[in-house]
Structure 1
Amino acid sequence: MLSVRRFAVYLGLTACFLLLSGYFRDGIVNTAKANYSSRLPTVAQPNGQPAVQSSSPKTSRFRWATVPIRFPVAQLTPLPTAPPLKLPQVQYQFPPESKEQEAVRGRRQAAVKQTFERCWNSYKQHAWGHDELGPLSGGVRDGFGGWGASLVDNLDNLWIMDMKSEFEDAVRAAVVMDLSTSTTETINVFETTIRHLGGFLAAYDLSGDRRLLEKAEEFGEMLIRAFDTPNHLPITRWKPQVALGGPQEADTTVLVAEIGSLEMEFTRLAQVTGEAKWYDAVARIVRLFDAQQQRTHLPGMWPVVVDAKNADFTQDTFFTLSAMSDSLYEYFPKMHALLGGVEPVYRKLYDGSMATAIKYNLWRPMTPDNADILMSGHVRATDQQQAKLDPQGQHLACFTGGMFALGGKLFNQPAHVEIGKKLTDGCIWTYHALPLGIMPEVFNMVPCESRLSCQWDENKWRGEVKDRNTDSNDIDHLIASHRLPKGFTQITDTRYILRPEAIESVFILYRITGESYLQEAAWDMFTAIVNATETHLANAALSDVTFSREQLAQGNTGGSTQMDSMESFWMAETLKYFYLVFSQPDVISLDEWVFNTEAHPFKRNLPT
């Protein structure tokens, strides 16, 4: 993304926090039911030899496909059978580049690849088979079941970057992972779906290696057991050992993105295997979103928290495109592309939700340079008349630029491409506004009264700073002590955790518009990030991006801002999008491929 995606930035809802509190656990759970245990899994070393890390020298023969289904589906929903439609062209018709342009692009792409290789080699040396490498300590983290999240997440990257020998080593290790073991008692079904199932499927689509498809099916068999409930809706924070012990039912408190962002991976698995059960599992969820779209407190959108046990997605009053909702909306145009435009529900869901979001969630910030940019905020609404905007910005919300741009092309809505440009430009602006050239996780600014015209008002900004920061009456002291660049009224989360969303939208918008300033923006972002995050091993998340380089150099930060964290999406998404923005446009063309929310490319269903 737990923003839903990736360990959320922050959760304003107590219920959501309680949902998440059990997920951040390290170590090995000692309980076991049936043949399912929580020991560390077996993986292969880079030389292809097995490296058994479990308490037993034998790999379990347990297979999820053999676990009986307690609540079988009476009639499966089949994949659409109509021939794919000829959808509008997404990518810009790039003219031939000059030798100078080719040389600059090539140098920049090589720099990105060099950073990836450095991180990959450190992971290979210090954390092979584990979920994540600690970029400062060289230690390991296994918060995603211990199923090599960084390994699986980067299979497609190794192929795309033409690291075929490394790809083969990684495939050999990945396909022998033992799903009868886990390092966590609770599995995040969403994260496992987008990282592992999505990772194996993308690598299969790229390489055609059937070992990867077989492993994708094995993950699918495990994950679909989370759907084995009376109403066939999934348990998004799922305890496999509990499931093996008896009947289970969906939860009453579920994050909307976690239940609403499974369809791309399950649909692609159905497409490549021909088995309807994968598509059926997610199609019934989509039908609920469709049926309840106009029955929420902000019709068109769905709230952050929904009730899966009672199949009610309407009761909560908090609406956002950002953390905890993000990929729900992102998947509407992408599913339209994946299915070749033959399932009309996805356009309906996109059109209805984006019309509401444009009206209530998007806002123009007041900036010193009067920049014509947009951001996406939160809305609390008991009804449309009472809808109240919180003008908050999030790094995670930067995906919205790419979503609007892609939706605008696929659905022939030029106005949405323009909205996507302004949202992307808003993230680029925020990167430039911070002293390190890196955008913070969460912040607030002053919303303009009009999106058409907005003039900088110093006094208004200073007054808002005082209202949002009550620890002093001295406004100049507040601005200095909180290190607030002009325009920012509060920075509530100063971290940068190696997120991909800004470069994701820069990449998508560049491929759609061909505008060269986007490549320049991407290079500025890349160099700023690498300069601040590089460690002796790899790249580290930052705790505070509001310090200047001079303050960092002088040690006036109260300690190092680098954290011992490098989530798998740093290599899998952030570096992939940086690499692709400097690739030839036909490398993973958006007219032939569509990315899941973990940047794994799936082949689009195209007309013959």
Structure 2
Amino acid sequence: MSFAVPRNVPAFGASQRHLEDRVWGSNRGMELPTYKDKPFYPKSRRSNMLRKRLLGPLLFVAATLMYYMGFFASSKPSPLSPSAINWKDRQDQVRDAFLLTWNAYEKYAWGHDEFHPVSKTGRDMVDGGLGWIIVDSLDTMILMNLTTQLKHARDWISTSLDYDKDHDVNTFETTIRMLGGLLSAHYLSTELPHYAPIHVAKGSPGEDLYLEKASDLADRLLGAYESMTGIPYASINLKTRKGIKSHADGGASSTAEATTTQLEMKYLSKLTGETLYWEKAERVMKVVDDIGQKDGLLPIFIDPDVGRFRDGNIRLGSRGDSYYEYLIKQYLQTSQQEPVYREMWDEALTGVRKHLITYSYPSNFTVLAERPNGLDGSLSPKMDHLVCFMPGTIALAVTGGLTVNEFKETGSWSKGQDEAMDLAKELMKTCMGMYKVTPTGLAAEITYFRTWEPHKMAWEGWNLKSPEYFDPDRNAAWRDDFVIKPNDVHNLLRPETVESLFYMWRITGDLEYRNWAWEIFQAFVEHAVVPDGGGFSSINSVKLIPARLKDNLESFWLAETLKYLFLTFGEADVLPLQDVVFNTEGHPFPRFELGKLFKTGWSRKPRDEYGHIKPDAPKRSNTNLEAVIDDKVKIQSVAVEKKPEQH
């Protein structure tokens, strides 16, 4: 079985986009829940779906919906003072939303990898299941102190979870969700044992259950890195441990997928003392960086066998996003002891400002656009919801996780920090506008923007500001900047905007970000609740009230969206940002020192001012990448020549 991109993904303007969105050729017809880094095209609308809201277990929200400002209110300060808001109560309501979802999953689909909350059914991606939803939710249950639910999940993992499956799985998704979920559960249960405490006798079997399962899974994933370059293949057979090229895209791996396994593998190496995980994941960064892309911006497909990008499509949305996220997070994970990743992040952010930042018309929202045909091609003023990870990541990079005030006290604040933080704030407002512009108060999967003609680019000196607040008038001019196309109107309960709001609140202390997160939560409750105790579901259109449910729930709703909301409404001393990094699936890992076993095993080649490798850069030796590839090709050729004749 192979994980498949959802069918019927539309063309989004680039000539090559139809290639990247093809089904992954599964012979057995099974599909993976929606990829974290890929847009999803909805199936046909389901007719006559009744929309009943705020019933049963969620009546607790009704009073709040009437009491507090609605989600279409302006962004002016609430008439309620901060002290009048009971943030603990709001946090409890997020926990209740988790429980509503989890209880429905336990009742109707326990142990299955997929949950369809409207039809109240489940399905496995492979025989016996992979623990997809259960493992992805572990650390959220720990943080929410849900001991009973955690024990049930832990018992299932102990007795039923087996990764010795003769099926292929997506390398990236399995790493960030499954490996990341197990490692984070190990970290939290070890470092925060008073959270959802489960007593396991010291020295007894299962004491290190999460770590043991993680090590077993990682050992199976290692085969994906056995390409000619070390860039992981798109998939891996868990039983045979053989890497498998993508069934589409000419066998290329997506850039985001190949470069978003490093936090997980490095942390596992630190826990076990086994350097192999570290070395395999780290090598990918060297191969990618050695190509020498202009201004630190990478195309979204790379060939794992030759180590070259497949086309020029550059974006920070699907298949590009988390490469940039993991640059700064690798730097922070190892306590700022690997400056190469900081350098790469700074170079990429400069490239983003130079090539991708433009402004909408007439209200001047900051748009992080795309270059479908390369940096010399035309600009596409389009933002996947996935791009909304970027405001929070920029803010995290500015302060390293400290608050702005704490960072300023170090005496290191500069004009560069000011400019980067301004960019984060403006992008955050754009992402929030993607929610506020719709009747439901929920963002579409993809939003386009009307822009100035010709484009006003940040690099040209434009530094335009969006309106101070969102005018709630349905005819307000700012709404004209946002364009949502019919194929893009669905909402999968994605986490990226609330993720960034979490970072922005923690780092700036601006209450506006906390209030925006509450507005989004209210909208989820109002439009995504399934009647009759089914939990929550993705919706088909953010433009329709009542909304029509998709009968689909992604595990990132539990792993990320609700977790980030819960943390946003909680105290900042829980998982302080200067002590942890969150992987791209919202799983927290601790920061650590390199120590004696680990080091950065590579260095960057000299570059010119555009990021291109200088012609006089040192030639690679016999042990370099080209030599390794040449040797493997020669071995394959010899094997073909010696193959006995068939009679």
TM-score range, shorter chain: 0.7 to 0.9
Amino acid at match of 1:22: S
Q: Distance in 1 between matches of 2:152 and 2:176?
A: 22
Q: Is the 8 A contact 1:322 1:376 kept in 2?
A: no
Among 381, 392, 404, which residue is 2:382 paired with? 392
In structure 2, give the amino acid aligned to 1:452: N
Contact 2:385-2:496 at 8 Å conserved across structures: yes
Counterparts of residues 35-114 of structure 1 (less than 5 Å):
101=83, 104-114=86-96
1:406 aligns with 2:396: yes
Q: Return the TM-score normalized by structure 2.
A: 0.70
Aligned positions of 1:432-511 closer than 5 A:
432-448=436-452, 449-450=455-456, 451-453=462-464, 486-491=480-485, 492-511=487-506
Q: 1:93 — aligned with what?
A: none
Aligned length: 490
1:22 to 2, 21, 26: 26
Q: Which position in structure 1 is the counterpart of 2:274?
A: 275
2-side partners of 1:418 and 1:271: how far apart?
A: 36
Q: Work out the CA distance in 2 between the residues paired with 1:4 and 1:334.
A: 28
Which string of whole-angstrom CA distances, capped at 9 and with x for unpartnered residues, describes residues 456-490 of structure 1? 9xxxxxxxxxxxxxxxxxxxxxx99xxx9522344
1:444 deviation in Å?
Answer: 1.2
Say whether 1:345 aligns with 2:340: yes
The separation in 1 between residues aligned to 2:482 and 2:108, in whole angstroms, is 40
The alpha carbon displacement at 1:324 in A equals 0.9
Q: 1:543 maps to which residue?
A: 540
Q: Which residue of 1 aligns with 2:109?
A: 127
Alignment of 1:158 with 2:141, yes or no, is: yes
Per-residue deviation at 1:532? 0.2
Instruction: Give how far 1:253 is off.
Output: 1.4
> Which residue does 1:514 correspond to in 2?
509
Q: Which runs of 5+ in 1 are unaligned?
A: 29-97, 457-478, 553-559
User: Which residue number corresponds to residue 197 of structure 1?
Assistant: 179
Residue 10 of structure 1 and its aligned partner are, at CA, apart by: 5.7
CA–CA distance in 2 between the matches of 1:408 and 1:521? 22
Partner SS, residue 21 of structure 2: helix
Q: What is the SS of the residue equivalent to 2:526? A: helix
Amino acid at match of 2:277: W
**In 1, Cα distance between equivalents of 2:593 and 2:144:** 25
1:495-517 CA-partner distances (Å, limit 9, x unpaired): 00110011000001110000001
Deviations 1:94-147 (A, max 9, x none): xxxx99738610111111110001111111121111112211011113347821
Aligned-partner Cα distance in 2 for 1:289–1:8: 31
AA partner of residue 298 (structure 2): W
AA in 2 matched with 1:378: E
Tell me the secondary structure at the aligned position of residue 155 of structure 1: helix
Q: How many angstroms does 1:239 deviate by?
A: 3.8
Residue type at the aligned position of 1:168: K
Alignment partners' CA distance in 2, 1:102 and 1:272:
44
Task: Quote the residue 1:380 is aligned against.
Answer: 372
Matched, 1:168 2:151: yes
1:604 Cα shift?
Answer: 1.1
Distance 1:8 1:520 in 2: 36
Q: Secondary structure at the match of 1:444?
A: strand
CA–CA separation in structure 1 for the residues paired with 2:327 and 2:6: 20
Distance 1:520 1:7 in 2: 37
Q: Deviations over 1:18-40 (max 9, x none)?
A: 46453994399xxxxxxxxxxxx
Contact 2:90-2:569 within 8 A present in 1 as well: yes
**In structure 1, what is the equivalent of residue 164 of structure 2?**
180
Is residue 599 of structure 1 aligned with residue 591 of structure 2?
no
RMSD over equivalenced CA pairs, Å? 3.2
1:361 corresponds to: 356
Q: Is the 8 A contact 1:5 1:323 kept in 2?
A: no
Q: What does residue range 215-234 of structure 1 map to in structure 2 within 5 Å?
A: 215-234=213-232
Cα distance between partner residues in 2 of 1:24 and 1:390 = 37
Question: Which amino acid is the alignment partner of residue 568 of structure 1?
Answer: S
Match of 1:309 among 298, 305, 308: 305
Q: Does 1:329 align with 2:313?
A: no
Q: Tell me, what secondary structure is at the counterpart of 2:298?
A: coil
- In 1, the alpha carbon distance for the partners of 2:494 and 2:233 equals 27
Summarize the Cα distance change of 1:249–1:123 in structure 2 as closer, same or farther, 3 Å threshold.
Answer: closer
Give the secondary-structure state (helix, strand or coil) at the position aligned to 1:130: coil
Measure, in 2, the Cα distance between the counterparts of 1:175 and 1:228.
Answer: 30
Q: If the length of structure 1 is used for normalisation, what is the TM-score?
A: 0.75
Deviation for aligned residue 1:240 = 4.5
User: How many Å apart are 1:174 and its aligned residue?
Assistant: 1.7
Provide Cα deviations, 1:369-389, integer angstroms capped at 9, x if missing partner: x3x53232211345x5x2321
Distance 1:589 1:196, change over 3 A: same
> SS at 1:26's partner residue?
coil
CA deviations on 1:158-213 (whole Å, 9 max, x unpaired) are 1100112321221121234111226xx43111000000000000010101262111
Paired residue secondary structure (1:216): helix
In structure 2, distance between residues paired with 1:285 and 1:144: 29
- Provide the residue aligned with 1:564 in structure 2: 551
Q: CA deviation at 1:257?
A: 0.7
Could you report, residue by residue, the CA deviation over 1:420-451 in whole angstroms, capped at 9, with x for unpaired residues? 11111111122111111111011211124444
Q: Letter of the 2:306 partner, please give it.
A: N
Residue identity opposite 1:409 in structure 2: T
State the alpha-carbon separation in 2 of the partners of residues 109 and 272 from structure 1.
32
Residues 144, 192 of structure 1: 8 Å contact kept: no
CA contact (8 A) 2:7 2:22 kept: no
1:455 and 1:217 mapped to 2: Cα distance?
48
TM-superposed CA distance for 1:395, in Å, is: 1.1
Superposed displacement of residue 4, structure 1: 12
Worse overlay, 388-397 or 373-382? 373-382
The CA distance in 1 between the partners of 2:372 and 2:520, in whole Å, is: 33
1:289 aligns with 2:288: yes
Secondary structure of residue in 2 paired with 1:528: helix
User: Do the aligned partners of 2:175 and 2:264 also contact (CA within 8 Å) in 1?
Assistant: yes
Paired position in structure 2 for 1:588: 575
Per the TM alignment, residue 455 of structure 1 is displaced from its structure 2 partner at its CA by 9.3
CA deviations on 1:313-359 (whole Å, 9 max, x unpaired) are 3x511100111111111111111111111112211211111111111
Whole-angstrom CA distance in 1 between matches of 2:553 and 2:187: 27
Q: How many Å apart are 1:299 and its aligned residue?
A: 3.7
Matched, 1:532 2:527: yes
- Residue 561 of structure 2: aligned partner: 574
CA contact (8 A) 1:366 1:454 kept: no
In 1, distance between residues paired with 2:594 and 2:280? 26
**Amino acid in structure 2 at the alignment position of 1:285:** V
Shift of 1:591: 1.1
User: 1:261 maps to which residue?
Assistant: 260
Provide the secondary structure at the position in 2 that maps to 1:408: helix
